[in-house]
């Protein structure tokens, strides 16, 4: 168990290490990123085993969702870091004469706190850590107490790769998280729920610590399937995504709205896709991930039981294995309670709507809190592009699911109740960097333009020059 003094000591050691300037050289950062990559690659089998213990994930799912993305992003960062960190040079402008040039330096914040969740414990710990390292910060990782085996392995990997005064892992429950939040960090990065994010922000406000928040969204992520969509393709992709990690994904489809004209056909294709991908006996399939703990299982089961009369597929679970079948609930009204909160489970409410009345559905979604992800399936690409540029959400796809977060060089993040700040690649480097503007003056040719007097003939001449220069 940690005490407040323990955590305070860790932060003080990291602050002293940061102030020594050791993290600033790019060569140092690059060495640390390579060390992290080696550690992840050499621990691949251990990571797979930990994810199987915590979430029931297979080797392929573990690599696809946690291991591969970290390696891919480290590689992207190594390729771009020197370019991203290069100071920008700007012409100072006539107003600043005789200064000719101004620099913008990309400076690290300092000592950072990374609070990571259980659902993708390695990707959402190391994926954030690598951005903090690239920008020249130190880091304290508060890993989830729910993913016990993964957290223990994260702690082992970090302790064997980095000194404690540079990067360290703290485990424990909410009490330990609060002890961390009571310290003065220079940057906090939290991934989790909107409710906890409000608490994080309140704690950070005491020290005016800047925060980045990656949240699932209060009302969940919508997927819209219009009547002109390729029904089989849409059903196949929705089924894949709902099965992945048993629905415990921040960008997962929380509810799917299907045009009434094709609803029955879509439901049949969706059932067929679930059976094709996971089999008739999902609860016995070792490839099917399980819910994180008994509390998550019980919450899922209670919700499913409340909608048992409208369950058209699935609906059963096995508490001993924490597996719950992919469960389709139909029909569900767009204003019901189940589609106004993040489910974080394999439950899938299906909301029918008249295709001609899609604008009413979109208006209803717009009135709610902004989701982290938004998906549409349609053959009308013009309409889809217009909608995707009008709605407010973190990121999304047209005729696809989830893959937008796998694209190199693009940002990932939410807005409003789905978060603030972005990361991945250069965007992560920028998130953990503060741009500092430094103008270099001159001791010669300094004009009295900015100096008193401001009135009389001299003032009139100065005003004329100011108007000329400040255009």
Domain ranges of the chain: 4-216+419-434, 222-368+373-409, 441-469
The whole-chain average pLDDT of the chain stands at 97
Question: pLDDT digit string (tens) for 302-341?
Answer: 999 999 999 999 999 999 999 999 999 999 999 999 999 9
Confidence band for 163, pLDDT divided at 50, 70 and 90 = very high
Report the topology of domain 222-368+373-409.
Aldehyde Dehydrogenase; Chain A, domain 2 (3.40.309)
Question: pLDDT digit string (tens) for 209-250?
Answer: 999 999 988 999 999 999 999 999 999 999 999 999 999 999
Tracing tokens 């909160």 back to the chain, one arrives at 341
Confidence band for 448, pLDDT divided at 50, 70 and 90 = confident
Closest CA to 352 of 227, 220, 218: 227
Reduce the DSSP state of residue 283 to 3 states and report it: helix
The enclosing H or E element of 348 equals strand 347-353
Question: pLDDT digit string (tens) for 375-432?
Answer: 999 999 999 999 999 999 999 999 999 999 999 999 999 999 999 999 999 999 999 9
User: CATH homologous superfamily of domain 4-216+419-434?
Assistant: Aldehyde Dehydrogenase; Chain A, domain 1 (3.40.605.10)
Confidence band for 466, pLDDT divided at 50, 70 and 90 = confident
Check: pTM over 0.85? Answer yes or no: yes
Question: pLDDT digit string (tens) for 14-49?
Answer: 999 999 999 999 999 999 999 999 999 999 999 999
Rounded distance between C-alpha atoms, residue 329 and residue 258, angstroms: 12
pLDDT for 173 equals 94
Confidence band for 103, pLDDT divided at 50, 70 and 90 = very high
Closest CA to 109 of 461, 455, 446, 435: 435
Question: pLDDT digit string (tens) for 344-384?
Answer: 999 999 999 999 999 999 999 999 999 999 999 999 999 99
Q: In what order do the strands lie in the sheet with 433-439?
A: 88-91, 101-108, 433-439
Mean pLDDT of 147-153: 98
pLDDT for 447 equals 82
Closest CA to 267 of 222, 324, 331: 331
Which tokens hold the place of 54?
A: 């915590």
Supply the residues annotated as catalytic.
214, 250
Dihedral sign, Cα of residue 423, residue 426, residue 432, residue 433: negative
């Amino acid at each position: 168990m940690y005490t407040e003094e323990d955590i305070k000591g860790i932060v003080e050691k990291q602050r002293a290490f940061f102030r020594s300037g050791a993290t600033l050289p790019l060569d140092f950062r690059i060495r640390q990123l390579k060390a992290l990559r080696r550690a992840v690659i050499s621990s691949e089998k251990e990571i797979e085993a930990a994810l199987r213990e915590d979430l029931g994930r297979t080797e392929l799912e573990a690599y696809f969702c946690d291991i591969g993305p970290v390696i891919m992003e480290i590689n992207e960062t190594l390729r771009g870091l020197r370019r991203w960190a290069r100071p920008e040079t700007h012409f100072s402008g006539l107003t600043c004469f005789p200064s000719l040039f101004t620099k913008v330096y990309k400076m690290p914040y300092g000592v950072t706190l990374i609070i990571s969740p259980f659902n993708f414990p390695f990707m959402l710990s190391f994926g954030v850590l690598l951005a903090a390292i690239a920008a020249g910060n130190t880091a304290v990782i508060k890993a989830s107490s729910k993913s016990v085996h993964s957290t223990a392995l994260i702690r082992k990997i970090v302790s064997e790769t980095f000194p404690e005064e540079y990067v360290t892992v703290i485990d424990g429950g909410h009490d330990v998280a609060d002890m961390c939040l009571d310290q003065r960090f220079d940057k906090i990065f939290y991934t989790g729920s909107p409710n906890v994010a409000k608490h994080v922000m309140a704690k950070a406000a005491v020290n005016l610590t800047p925060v980045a928040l990656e949240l699932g969204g209060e009302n969940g992520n919508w997927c819209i399937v219009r009547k002109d969509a390729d029904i089989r393709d849409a059903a196949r992709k929705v089924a894949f995504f709902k099965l992945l990690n048993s629905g415990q994904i921040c960008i997962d489809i929380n509810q799917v709205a299907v045009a009434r004209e094709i609803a029955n056909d879509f439901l049949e294709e969706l059932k067929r896709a679930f059976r094709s991908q996971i089999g008739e006996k999902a609860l016995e399939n070792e490839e099917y991930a399980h819910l994180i703990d008994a509390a998550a299982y019980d919450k899922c089961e209670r919700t499913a039981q409340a909608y048992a009369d409208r369950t058209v597929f699935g609906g059963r679970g096995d508490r001993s294995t924490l597996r719950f079948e992919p469960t389709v609930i139909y029909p569900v009204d767009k204003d019901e309670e189940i589609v106004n909160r993040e489910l974080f489970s394999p439950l899938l409410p299906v909301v029918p709507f008249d295709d001609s009345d899609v604008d009413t559905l979109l208006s209803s979604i717009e009135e709610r809190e902004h989701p982290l992800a938004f998906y549409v399936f349609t053959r009308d690409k013009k309409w889809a592009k217009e909608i995707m540029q009008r709605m407010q959400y973190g990121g999304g796809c047209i005729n696809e699911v989830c893959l937008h977060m796998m694209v190199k060089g693009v940002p990932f993040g939410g807005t409003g109740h789905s978060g603030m700040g972005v990361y991945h690649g250069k965007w992560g480097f920028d998130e953990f960097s503060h741009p500092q503007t430094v103008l270099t003056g001159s001791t010669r040719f300094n004009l009295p333009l900015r100096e008193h007097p401001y009135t009389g003939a001299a003032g009139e001449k100065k005003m004329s020059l100011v108007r000329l220069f400040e255009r």
